[in-house]
Amino acid sequence: MRSFFEPQSVAVAGVSTDPNKLGSIIFANLIENSEKGLLRARVYALNPSHSRIGNFPCYPAVKALPEVPELLVVAVPEAQTVPLIESAAASGVKAAVMITGGYAEVGKGAVERKIARLASKHGMRVLGPNTIGLVDTWSGVDSLFLRQTKRLASGEEIVSMLKPLRGEIAIITQSGHLGEVIAEDLASNGVGVRAIVGTGNQLDVSVEDVIQYFADDQNTKVIAVYLEGVRDGRRFMETAASAVRKKPVVVFKVGKTGAGARAALTHTASLVGDYEIYRAAFRQCGVVEAHTMRELVDYSISLQMLPRTSGKRLVIITNAGGVGVIAADEAARIGLQVDPPGTAAVRKFRAEFEGASFVANASLGNPIDLTASVSSDEFVKSVNYFLNLAEYDIALVLPTHHAPGIAPDIASRLSDVIVRSGKPVTCSVIGDSPLAVRLHSEFMAKRIPSFPTPEQGVGALAVMTDYGRSRVAAHAPETSTRKRTRRPSRAGLLPQKEVSDLLRSYDILEPKSVIVTSSKDLAGLRELRFPVACKLISKDLPHKTDAGGVVLGVAEASEVKAVFERLSTLAERRHLGFEGMLVQEMVKKGVELILGGVRDQAFGAVVMVGLGGTHAELVRDFKLAVAPVTPVEARRMLIGGGIGRILRGYRGGPRASVGRLSGVVSDFSRILIENPWIEQMEVNPLIASGNSMMAVDSRVFSGSGDARVGRPGDGRLLSERFR
Amino acid sequence: MRSFFEPQSVAVAGVSTDPNKLGSIIFANLIENSEKGLLRARVYALNPSHSRIGNFPCYPAVKALPEVPELLVVAVPEAQTVPLIESAAASGVKAAVMITGGYAEVGKGAVERKIARLASKHGMRVLGPNTIGLVDTWSGVDSLFLRQTKRLASGEEIVSMLKPLRGEIAIITQSGHLGEVIAEDLASNGVGVRAIVGTGNQLDVSVEDVIQYFADDQNTKVIAVYLEGVRDGRRFMETAASAVRKKPVVVFKVGKTGAGARAALTHTASLVGDYEIYRAAFRQCGVVEAHTMRELVDYSISLQMLPRTSGKRLVIITNAGGVGVIAADEAARIGLQVDPPGTAAVRKFRAEFEGASFVANASLGNPIDLTASVSSDEFVKSVNYFLNLAEYDIALVLPTHHAPGIAPDIASRLSDVIVRSGKPVTCSVIGDSPLAVRLHSEFMAKRIPSFPTPEQGVGALAVMTDYGRSRVAAHAPETSTRKRTRRPSRAGLLPQKEVSDLLRSYDILEPKSVIVTSSKDLAGLRELRFPVACKLISKDLPHKTDAGGVVLGVAEASEVKAVFERLSTLAERRHLGFEGMLVQEMVKKGVELILGGVRDQAFGAVVMVGLGGTHAELVRDFKLAVAPVTPVEARRMLIGGGIGRILRGYRGGPRASVGRLSGVVSDFSRILIENPWIEQMEVNPLIASGNSMMAVDSRVFSGSGDARVGRPGDGRLLSERFR
């Protein structure tokens, strides 16, 4: 991978006498970087039709070059690529960037596969095709073919693209254009990038490869990813989790609404969307999620600039009430703590500023509103005071420069006390005047993130807390293969008996039950304690309650007989295969949960736990995790939100042990991992009460045997999906 | 009110020889506007200590002026205000703007009340105090006292505030600073304002008064409101609903997390937050809600510039895949329809562009991705083609100017076809280069809203649809006084018998029941059909199920006796007042709903309907409306979301008539309106099945008799609340 970023030599294939051709633009940029002393690699032009391009020699083929280039930039049409790649790989070229499109994205996947084989044979890595390639602001390697100016009708040239600045944020993107505009946005804020890497169709080099590279790169402080999708979710999680331990990884995932075509055999399957799985995976491996383009930029800036924290206690300091209230609303919405300072701190503040006229009107809650009458000097001293209180971890400073008392040197004076505090602090400079622009730049130059709205200032602080917390927990699920059952002989709903055996082998208990297949053979009932529940068994009826196939509270054996006859008639009338009736001891009241598992083409086995019963889909209070789930991780899924409240015994309702349930969730997740033939699986309800966890009704669907069946639409990049 | 905006003469009290004093700045601004010919009113300076201020005469008192000024701007300290206002009001001044602070916001509410009385006696209106006052860009009235420049250490002056431009957006604000920065944000986008009005402490003129004024103002196209709170919610709704029928009203409500201190006697009260009530009120009166400062500006721009629509069918046209996907995600998230064009439309498009090379790679779903290879000419023609399809109501155009084929005149060319289409269209110009700035300005100049991110472009279109739909439904709830019961003799939980009478008088049915007060007198049971439910009656136990006070499915009279003894023992053991036992026929299975009512200090009676049962607070699927609720409005509450799905018969569960239930909700809302002594009220559960609606368990709490009791913390402005 290093050959992409720090090659000794680069050759560009497709350089032409037409300066507007991609190859010509790239070659010109590289030469310019050489002449500036930025690029140390030797640069060569390749084109069989020319012997010179401007002042430079042009070579007909890789073999004709004075040396074997370490990196080859391919900007020739698709038709000419295969022989070029073949000769380059055979000659010992280490890395190739394929800029041009016209491959898998227009249905020519076979050409890509051929190139991948050729490259792999000779150990050459390939980035692209169909990409902007890469810009390394440190080494000067640059395959960006966009022009930096355009010509107006008047003949005048206008700057159409801001050149990326050198910096510490690595941008990895599955859309070249997005990578460029993110870098441009950063540049307009005076912030640089370590590199931009567009992975294009990912013939060989994937987003995961690039994450791994920057994880180990000294000059990279933050990895920002624009993600359409991943092919190998587990690899992504491993790479990301390992990177997150070293530096923050921020991901903006798009294509949220393009759901995979998963067969909805269980409640679980209808609840679990692609995007929800990505979110669960991000949470598990400690990736910070950005929800908009704006957040990706804002979060990258604050993660690059600010010291680490995991504290949530925010103080908001302002001289204008309105923006303070907006900030407090937003902070509460996203879960930061906005508590007023303690009385001792307030008393000490009043003592320090005794006699200052602003104090009489100031509101010393949180937001701390020093009012429009505060002077620059008082504002700076007050900020210093509150920043240094041990009761706050993070701070948002809102210096409204419109107030008459605030001098234009406010940013530089505030910067000093902010930097000295050692805490993560953001500012919002609200306004669009030249003074506002100046203050914003001054803050950014001192590495204090500044934003044009209070909401952004708050969001950029919250992300520090998120990263601080997620870094500790970041891990990728292992793949265990401890034990396995054999694939059942036929695909589809597994017989109830085999489901019970499977659960039992993982220590998941079911209520005591017998299966009745004839109304004459009721001897087995003697082993049960009444009342019992009677359930129709039919492979055609996975959701028994939907069709009236469940009768609860049957009090004695004679009633069981009547129910049996009713259910067999029901099955007949509805043309359902009738396999008998399950007679099950009633479980004492408890928390009804749903425990489900599906397979995702990208991430493999995914486990869901949520509030159960027939309203599961309606309530939609559930948590996901990529399997296997450790008991610690299961606990994290269970303690928050509605599930957590229910388990703690909501409104006098039954309580259940979170510790014991975490164990069940973890065991359940191992079933999916260790029995790859399972396509979907669900326990609904699992009735939990104290330490008792009973799988009352369970369904297992076996698939075609591949561990990643059931989601034909997924695991592909958007570019493939839209074809 | 007109005297504030178009006075014949203005006097400024508090003009001084110090040019930095508020009064001096305001006087200087007014003189400047006069000299520019913008302000036609005659301008006078008031100050008893001076006879001249610069070149202008200065008068000692209102009575000493050559004429009675129509408008008085008060910029003197609080201590001098009362005599000044008194003499002004007595002299016939029509309107006064009180700039200076130091009143209710620091605990001096009494002074405000005195001024209000004086002004009201003489029919003078007062804006403020503690406000920036107003800026009218059309008449030149301007009391903004912020300096437009500040001096740098170098001695150089730097522009610190962009002057508001003349335009059609009226900004009404409860925070002066926010009004100014919103105008500044608009100005930086080349968009003007009709006026900025800061209502400050609202001693007299309220947000509602100003909304009403601009509703009837010809030059106002959009009313944008920054709202901390309202005192009279019904007045707000009436004014807003009436304004919305004429023009859009956009409100950004802050102080979302400052909950009122409402006693949580019912589930309803614990579910209903202040902000939720505001949201319900906004929806009812057709106000468009902005959730951030950014949205307030963006929405105002698109509502001002774009033609009206209520259609949701969006087409996204782009030449860069990534931004198109981001836009599609956001559109789906906020509920716009993003369907691909019909096959006929696609076929016709392909025919029109036959031979064009971009078509081969273009993705003609939605987003329509014309790819980076499209030329300016082809892009403009394609946009024109899709804009004119009848299958789309609204469009987002994303012209990525970085692509080599796009010429810098793209904005002006696109503007022509967009304007010609007559449809609401927004653009996103993504990037920060001079060309991006230029394209953005060109779109805005043609009144095509342009935004720096795809998400904003989508949001600004969705708001058009929202306004188009809400305008039709906008109304304020009437206040009916048709019938009334008398206030019960004691406050607190109403006896069960009286609750039943109350419900019956509004045609809300309860299951047949008898009250048993002794285990010897069970004769009444003969009238009931078994099985029955037995419920402990105790004023100490509003939520009976919480304490085991409900026994369901009691099969016969002898069992009732046993239950009676159990419950009376339970009551005794727990020291609960025991008033007997309600024996009620069991209701057949149905949808369990909760129907609740509370009183809000600002909005009065508020009705809630949600999914019921003991998990009501957990599920939190509920809708609110300010009472009275018409059946039509009740229907709107019931058809969407989880409630709607349940009522339609979710997963084979019971169904219930939405029409019939709408009637019950409407009747229920009238109970609250017509019996103002009710503080809180709740039916939980209301069991609905088909046309049968049974109030199974109901509670009514009577309050102190004021229609707006129970929420001491509310109905105040934030400035008051934070004291």
- pLDDT tens column, A491-539: 888 888 899 999 999 999 999 989 888 888 888 888 899 888 888 888 7
Structure-token pair, residue A373: 């009458």
| Average pLDDT value for chain B | 89
Strand-strand pairing, A222-227 and A249-253: parallel
Cross-chain Cβ contact A322/B226 below 8 Å = yes
Whether A455 has its CB under 8 Å from any CB of chain B: the answer is yes
pLDDT at residue B719, as a whole number: 38
**Which amino acid, residue B393?**
D
pLDDT at residue A655, as a whole number: 87
pLDDT band at A721 (very low <50, low <70, confident <90, very high): very low
| A690 Rama sector, left if φ>0, alpha if ψ -120 to 50, beta otherwise | left
- In this predicted structure, the answer to whether residue B198 has a pLDDT above a threshold of 70 is yes
Residue of A nearest to B643 (CA): A618
Minimal Cα–Cα distance from B185 to chain A, Å?
6
Query: B229 with B718: CB under 8 angstroms?
Result: yes
The DSSP annotation for B484-547 comes to -PPPPSSSEEPPHHHHHHHHHHTT-B---EEEE--TT--GGGGGSPSSEEEEE--TT-SSGGGG
DSSP structure class, residue A547: G
Q: pLDDT digit string (tens) for A139-162?
A: 999 999 888 899 999 999 999 999
pLDDT at residue A663, as a whole number: 95
Q: pLDDT digit string (tens) for A322-365?
A: 999 999 999 999 999 999 999 999 999 999 999 998 998 888 99
- In this predicted structure, the answer to whether residue B258 has a pLDDT above a threshold of 60 is no
Q: pLDDT digit string (tens) for A260-305?
A: 445 566 666 666 678 889 999 999 999 999 999 999 999 999 999 9
Nearest-10 Cα torsion for B279, B282, B284, B286: -140
Cross-chain Cβ contact A431/B404 below 8 Å = no
For residues B144 and A185, give the distance between their C-alpha atoms in angstroms, rounded to a whole number.
34
Which residues of chain B from 99 to 118 reach within 8 Å of chain A, CB to CB? 101-102, 105-106
Structure-token pair, residue B237: 């709704």
**Distances, alpha carbon A381 to alpha carbons A317, A355, A385, A417, B355, in Å:** 11, 15, 6, 8, 69
CA-based Rg of chain B, rounded to a whole angstrom?
A: 31
Whether A361 has its CB under 8 Å from any CB of chain B: the answer is yes
DSSP structure class, residue A203: S
**Distances, alpha carbon B414 to alpha carbons A74, A533, B657, in Å:** 34, 68, 50
Residue of higher predicted confidence among A715 and A646: A646
- What is the rounded end-to-end Cα distance, in angstroms, of chain B? 30
**Element (DSSP H or E) covering residue B405:** none
Looking at B286-361, list the stretches that DSSP marks H as alpha helix, in order from N- to C-terminal side.
Answer: 293-305, 321-333, 343-352, 357-361
Residue of A nearest to B338 (CA): A257
Structure-token pair, residue A494: 């597994």
Q: Which of A132, A191, A329 to mutate to test the interface with B (most CBs of B within 10 A)?
A: A329
* CA nearest to B533, candidates B464, B585, B568: B585
**Distances, alpha carbon A42 to alpha carbons A57, A66, A314, A599, in Å:** 13, 11, 52, 49
- Residues of A whose CB is below 8 A from B403: 177
pTM, two decimal places? 0.91
pLDDT at residue A26, as a whole number: 95
pLDDT at residue A713, as a whole number: 32
Q: pLDDT digit string (tens) for B265-314?
A: 666 666 667 888 999 999 999 999 999 999 999 999 999 999 999 999 99
For residues A614 and B651, give the distance between their C-alpha atoms in angstroms, rounded to a whole number.
8
- In this predicted structure, the answer to whether residue B720 has a pLDDT above a threshold of 60 is no
Q: pLDDT digit string (tens) for B637-659?
A: 998 877 888 888 876 778 899 99
Query: B40 with B141: CB under 8 angstroms?
Result: no
Place of tokens 């265990």: A480
Cross-chain Cβ contact A333/B454 below 8 Å = no
For residues A413 and A439, give the distance between their C-alpha atoms in angstroms, rounded to a whole number.
11
Cross-chain Cβ contact A372/B177 below 8 Å = yes
* CA nearest to B127, candidates B178, B179, B174, B181: B174
- In this predicted structure, the answer to whether residue A707 has a pLDDT above a threshold of 50 is no
Minimal Cα–Cα distance from B487 to chain A, Å?
32
**Distances, alpha carbon B86 to alpha carbons A589, B91, B351, in Å:** 73, 9, 78
Question: Which of B147, B292, B433 lies nearest to residue A159, judging by beta carbons?
Answer: B433
Whether B325 has its CB under 8 Å from any CB of chain A: the answer is yes
Cα-Cα-Cα-Cα dihedral sign, residues A639, A327, B455, B622? positive
Minimal Cα–Cα distance from A362 to chain B, Å?
9
For residues A581 and A200, give the distance between their C-alpha atoms in angstroms, rounded to a whole number.
56
The DSSP annotation for A13-48 comes to ET--SSTTSHHHHHHHHHHHHHHTT---SEEEEE-T
* CA nearest to A691, candidates A653, A646, A649, A655: A655
**Distances, alpha carbon A84 to alpha carbons A56, A57, A193, A202, in Å:** 21, 19, 32, 19
Q: pLDDT digit string (tens) for A458-480?
A: 999 999 999 998 887 788 887 66
For residues B288 and B208, give the distance between their C-alpha atoms in angstroms, rounded to a whole number.
16
Residue of B nearest to A436 (CA): B160
The whole-number average pLDDT for the span B700-707 is 69
* CA nearest to A182, candidates A241, A223, A127: A223
Structure-token pair, residue A45: 């032009």
Structure-token pair, residue B496: 């069960």
Q: Which residues contact B121 (CB under 8 A, 6 or more apart)?
A: B89
**Element (DSSP H or E) covering residue B319:** none
Q: Give percent of chain A above pLDDT 70.
A: 92
Whether B321 has its CB under 8 Å from any CB of chain A: the answer is yes
Query: B181 with B203: CB under 8 angstroms?
Result: no
* CA nearest to A400, candidates A427, A378, A381, A366: A427
- Beta partners for residue A515, in sequence order: A582
| Average pLDDT value for chain A | 89
Which residues of chain A from 150 to 169 reach within 8 Å of chain B, CB to CB? 150-153, 158-162
Q: Give percent of chain A above pLDDT 90.
A: 67
Which residues of chain A from 3 to 42 reach within 8 Å of chain B, CB to CB? 20
For residues A304 and B273, give the distance between their C-alpha atoms in angstroms, rounded to a whole number.
38
- Beta partners for residue B535, in sequence order: B550, B582
- In this predicted structure, the answer to whether residue A651 has a pLDDT above a threshold of 80 is no
Q: Is B194 helix (H, G, I), strand (E, B) or coil?
A: strand
Minimal Cα–Cα distance from B275 to chain A, Å?
11
- Beta partners for residue A672, in sequence order: none
For A166, half-sphere exposure in the C-beta direction (CA atoms, 13 angstrom radius) is 7
For B362, half-sphere exposure in the C-beta direction (CA atoms, 13 angstrom radius) is 26
Query: B71 with B4: CB under 8 angstroms?
Result: yes
pLDDT band at A710 (very low <50, low <70, confident <90, very high): very low
- Residues of B whose CB is below 8 A from A400: 177
pLDDT band at B20 (very low <50, low <70, confident <90, very high): confident
Residue of B nearest to A373 (CA): B101
Q: Is A328 helix (H, G, I), strand (E, B) or coil?
A: helix
For A353, other C-beta atoms within 10 Å of its C-beta total 18
- Residues of A whose CB is below 8 A from B546: 651-652
pLDDT at residue A588, as a whole number: 83
Structure-token pair, residue B308: 């009206």
Lowest mean pLDDT among A444-453, B356-365, B372-381, B439-448: B356-365
For B248, half-sphere exposure in the C-beta direction (CA atoms, 13 angstrom radius) is 30
Cross-chain Cβ contact B404/A652 below 8 Å = no
**Element (DSSP H or E) covering residue A261:** none
Strand-strand pairing, A591-600 and A622-626: unpaired
Cross-chain Cβ contact A363/B652 below 8 Å = no
DSSP structure class, residue B257: T
Cross-chain Cβ contact B614/A159 below 8 Å = no
- Beta partners for residue B252, in sequence order: B226, B290
Q: Which residues contact B477 (CB under 8 A, 6 or more apart)?
A: B234, B237, B284, B625, B626, B627, B628, B629
Q: Which residues contact B377 (CB under 8 A, 6 or more apart)?
A: none
Cα-Cα-Cα-Cα dihedral sign, residues B329, B331, B334, B340? negative
Query: A579 with A538: CB under 8 angstroms?
Result: yes
Query: B695 with B582: CB under 8 angstroms?
Result: no
